[in-house]
A and B are shown apart, each in its own frame.
Chain A
Amino acid sequence: MAARTLYEKIWEAHIVREEPGQPTLIYIDRHLIHEGTSPQAFAGLKAAGRKVRQPQLTFAVMDHSVSTKNRLLPVLDADALGQFEALARNCQEHGVHLFDLHSKNQGIIHIIGPELGITQPGQTIVCGDSHTSTHGAFGALAFGIGTSEIEHVLATQCLTQFKSKTMKIEINGKRPRGVTAKDFILTVIGKIGIAGGTGYVFEYTGEAVRGLSMEGRMTMCNMSIEGGARAGMVSPDETTFAYLEGRPFVPRGKEFQVAVDHWRSLATDAGAKFDETLTLHANELAPMVTWGTNPGMVTQVTDRVPDPASFGDPVDREAASRALVYMGLKPGTRIEDISLDRVFIGSCTNSRIEDLRAAAKVVAGKHVSKDLKQALVVPGSRRVKVEAETEGLDKIFRDAGFEWRDAGCSMCIGMNDDVLLSGERSASTSNRNFEGRQGKGGRTHLVSPMMAAAAAIEGHFVDIRDWKNADGAE
């Protein structure tokens, strides 16, 4: 058989029906849902008199609108409460797994899928959320869908899909100290642009990617959509299997070995062809900071805010000008001179235990700048929260002046009360710096957890590589 990519192997294994000139009907192994985009899908299902075909393949959690403050208090936001009640009712009625507000396993859907072992290599995984690409880190084909497609999956456990093109994104060399998976992916998006991956599925590879933990790989895959690709993936390897072993939904003993043998066979074959290839070397990479209103408007921390006049393309020039007006930045300003109002460490991009450890190491024994209004740490899941507390990370953060919260999407999207006020500027470990994303008029700079932590201490961006407690290879 011809050499195949991971994407092609998963695609072919999930074809339910194929007809020339038509999209392919593919089977969906895991359907993840949350309170934000699912109620209309259940309502549609009901209106058509249909049922959930495979409720046991469907997993629901409350994450987008949840308060990260005291979970034991009543929900004060009536609209959010309406969403929670609708989700609970729909799950109960159809027999769909539900992690509700009070579950010990509640958290951001893209955090809990992997940590519970619901996400596994070779699966097709969809969710009404564009950051579903996160799960591709396991060698799964995972992508975000709209509400009509949620309804379609609920009713049929399938989706009609057009096959994507493939792009190999290879990062060779060793990850430099102070440079993280977040900086890898921001560099990639900066190079290809936010529409560079439209129509493609990315596969990340190369020594620097192979050297990442599963959590780092998830950070990269998570932001594939910010480069326009619906899905990003990494071929499964020993790192993947070691992460999965022993997780609640992962097979045990002999069954695990059988699964591993299968998972290993999914990796892209030597010599498999991609439609496009992008190759980078890790030694060119540095900590990154976004300066504009999309994740492709990004530069290295040692750089300056670009002058729109320096852009060759008139469209880019105008977009940059508009972005700088919104961001309240002057061309030529040193990134390190940008001062901040709030710092947010959290989101499905960077709220896992390793993110919190790296940030805690930076802030240990120091204190948040008095110029800051707020520094917030929001663990991605309640499991992460407990793990961090067991390690004493919560104490390190609190002693340094951070607020330590309960799990949820929080200030990444600001659907709860964790928001930026108009004109405020944040350093955020999340994934989108769109206008108004963290609050109307709010100005977001995307960075890694270490960079956010150091910025919180200094009140402005700093090059984490100058700090001795930055992790990574020397």
Chain B
Amino acid sequence: MEPFIKHTGLVAPLDRVNVDTDQMVPKQFLKFLTREGYGRVLFYDWRYLPGEKLNPDFVLNQPRYKGASVLLARANFGCGSSREHAPWGILDYGFRTILAPSYADIFYNNCFKNGILPVTLSNEQMDELFKRTEEKEGYRLTVDLEQQIVTGDNGLRYSFEVDPFRRDCLLRGLDDIGLTLVHDQHITGFEGKNLRLPVMYDPVDVKYHKQ
């Protein structure tokens, strides 16, 4: 995973609440076997008209937001399905960080697993950022995870909270599984005391069960 330390980029606004992961990556794109390529289909039903023509009414299609890497969003961003295709799409599209007042749990967690920093700010701070982004073409922000601050022009400076463990993993781009396997002894110890493999008392039509 690519570490996230500090990022400066063009800001794009997605001004609606409760954006669910079905909107980020619709079901017809959940049939692929890889983690790549979901940027093209991100927000598919909003972004494209029939025949995959760009929908000029969708905010991310406006030329001024082309190349954006900082996404402004509203409350409960990423609700619904657990599909990790949603953060894969966000990242592949080019966003490295999201700023929003709140996130749904599973999506929030999935972001950290993919090197995306979801920053939580207050509603008032978000209102201000939306306003500035809309007012000034080419509006850019810097998100600094080390310092835990968002900075922009005219002295804008918002600090934010993030769990220290998640912060550390993201700063160092750590592989979670590797981290857990450091504690292999603990896992083996737990299994020694507690592990009960499932027993099939009544044979059912299943493959690869070992009794």
Contact = CB atoms under 8 A, between A and B. Distances in A.
Q: Is the interface of B mostly helix, strand, loop or mixed?
A: loop
Interface residues of A, number: 86
Q: Is the interface of A mostly helix, strand, loop or mixed?
A: loop
B17 interface: yes
B25 to A, nearest CB: 11
Contacts of B53: none
Interface of A: 13, 16-17, 21-23, 25, 27, 30, 36-37, 39-40, 43, 48, 50, 53-57, 64-65, 77, 79-80, 82-83, 86, 91-92, 95-100, 103-105, 116, 118, 128-130, 144-149, 151-152, 155-158, 160, 162, 194-195, 198-199, 225, 228, 230, 247-252, 294, 315, 318-319, 322, 413-415, 432, 434-437, 440
11 contacts: A27-B190, A56-B209, A116-B204, A145-B106, A146-B83, A146-B84, A160-B176, A195-B18, A195-B79, A198-B76, A249-B201
A440 B82 contact: no
A161 to B, nearest CB: 9
A157 to B, nearest CB: 7
Interface in B159-211: 163-165, 175-177, 179-181, 183, 186-187, 190-191, 194-195, 197-210
A156 B84 contact: no
Contacts, number: 211
Interface residues of B, number: 64
A319 B206 contact: no
Contact of B206 (A64, A99, A146, A432): A99
B110 interface: yes
B166 to A, nearest CB: 8
Given A13-B194, A146-B82, 20 more contacts: A17-B183, A17-B186, A25-B180, A25-B183, A50-B177, A83-B33, A98-B208, A148-B84, A149-B109, A151-B177, A152-B180, A195-B75, A195-B104, A198-B104, A247-B202, A415-B30, A434-B22, A434-B23, A437-B22, A437-B27
A110 to B, nearest CB: 13
Q: Pick the 3 closest A-B CB pairs, nearest first.
A: A148-B113, A79-B31, A146-B84
A64 B32 CA distance: 13
